[in-house]
Amino acid sequence: MQCKTFKYPVMLVSQILCIVICCSFFFPPCLTCEDDAKFPFGNQIEEFNETIPNIFLCRMCGLSQDDEGSFIETASPFSLSVRNETIVYEQNATKVVKTVPVQKLKNPMGNVFDVVTLKKSSCRGVGKWVSESSWFPGYSWKVCICSKCGCHLGWMFEVDAAVTGSLPTKPTQTGFYALIRENILTESGNLNLFLPRL
């Protein structure tokens, strides 16, 4: 059997990954923003007062996102809808039930997905900060990937005035993370995948 030669140049895997990550805001399965809509910059960030254990895991590799339950309510004026999701976890041998807001957002290409906003995460930012097509007016964004497997988990957001090129590498006190709900698991949900229901 003979090997066939290709007419087209072959791209390295790293080049393809770079293109996919850089374009992820504009192509499926993750991203959103209303086209050219103008909204006031008065979105408020409200942080829950309690610290709880890590809840979210990367759906692909199971790496904890070190979120420490740092849920914040960051309302986007571009949100198509908001629903509450109940998350159950254990803290100090006590079952705790928490209601978390999940926003449905749409990117300029029309792709719709659900996001949960957090103050902390172990996901790694990729590329430079971008101010165009932000779901949160007054904030720039950058793609956020799992630091272990490289799966696209969501985005980091930072106040426009605080960003320069690719710095800062992580959101500051004024920034936050928006993780794609379908790309993360809850630790309790992950246990249900492995334990039989009685």
Residues 119-171 pLDDT 10s? 888 899 999 999 999 999 999 999 999 989 999 999 999 999 999 888 888 89
171 closest CA partner among 138, 145, 142 = 142
How many helices (H) and strands (E) would you count in the chain? 2, 11
d(CA 40, CA 137): 7
- Domains identified in the chain and CATH numbers: 35-194 (2.170.150.20)
Count CA within 13 A, CB hemisphere, residue 24. 23
pLDDT digits (tens, 9 = 90+) for 123-132: 999 999 999 9
pLDDT digits (tens, 9 = 90+) for 15-59: 444 444 444 554 444 333 333 333 333 333 344 334 445 577 888
The model carries a pTM of 0.67
